[in-house]
Structures are given as C-alpha cells and as structure tokens.
C-alpha cells in the first residue's frame, strides 16, 4: 500500500502557483519524498525529491515540514502543459528502491 495520501484533484489558473499537498505521516528516517507526474499516454516523469531540506529545481520546489510528516510540491507558474496526475511517493534508496504509487492528484490548469 502507498504510504502517502493526496487529495483526488485540484485546479489552478494558468500563470498562478499550484501547491500540491501530500501527507506521509508514517515516513521513516531513511525514506525520501519523491514527486512524479504522468501526462496522459506517457510514462511518469520525475520532478523532484528530498529528504528533509526544501529543494528547488527548474521544474518545481519541494517544501517538507520539519517533522517530515507532510510536504508540498509547488509549481511556481502553472501552464496548460502542467495538467497531469501528480504522484507523491516515499521510498527507501538503494536495494529497496521500488516505487509504490498511490492514486495521485489530478491537477487541471485552466486558461
């Protein structure tokens, strides 16, 4: 079973920030938080990951709470091409690196 819970869906206006929440209250100390997204008919695309510090890359920012029980993925300026299913996953690294996907959150970006 997935160790994360996410809302089923959300929407945001094009050009605005999209804040996607994720709860992972049973996360272990050696588990990372990963975010992927899947656009229809394509394979999941890696977005960002983190352990306990906030992270930023060219696609998004990841904010992890101090107790690590929840996180937020931020797309700073959403575009129509960001419409996708977003998956938040907690994962061990190395030899136990299988990804357990939940249902994800469907983000709809409206014009």
Partner 1 sequence: KAGVTQTPRYLIKTRGQQVTLSCSPISGHRSVSWYQQTPGQGLQFLFEYFSETQRNKGNFPGRFSGRQFSNSRSEMNVSTLELGDSALYLCASSPGSGEQPQHFGDGTRLSIL
Residues that bind partner 1 (CB under 8 A): 32, 34, 36, 41-46, 49, 51, 87, 93-103
Residue closer to partner 1 by CB (options 81, 98) is 98
Shortest Cβ 104–partner 1 spacing (Å):
8
84-16-21 Cα angle (round to 5): 55
Residue closer to partner 1 by CB (options 43, 111) is 43
The span from the CA of 61 to the CA of 78, in Å, is 12
Residue closer to partner 1 by CB (options 44, 71) is 44
Shortest Cβ 32–partner 1 spacing (Å):
5
Check residue 96 and report its DSSP letter: G
55-22-87 Cα angle (round to 5): 85
The span from the CA of 66 to the CA of 38, in Å, is 28
Residue closer to partner 1 by CB (options 46, 110) is 46
The span from the CA of 34 to the CA of 108, in Å, is 21
Shortest Cβ 48–partner 1 spacing (Å):
9
């Amino acid at each position: 079973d997935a160790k994360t819970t996410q809302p089923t869906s959300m929407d945001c206006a094009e050009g605005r920030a999209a804040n996607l929440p994720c709860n992972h209250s049973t996360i272990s100390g050696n588990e990372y938080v990963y975010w992927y997204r899947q656009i229809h008919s394509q394979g999941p695309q890696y977005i960002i990951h983190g352990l306990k510090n906030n992270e930023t890359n060219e696609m998004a920012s990841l904010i992890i709470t101090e107790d690590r029980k929840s996180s937020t993925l931020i797309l700073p300026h959403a575009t129509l091409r960001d419409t996708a299913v977003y998956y938040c996953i907690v994962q061990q690294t190395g030899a136990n690196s299988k990804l357990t996907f939940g249902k994800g959150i469907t983000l709809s970006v409206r014009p």
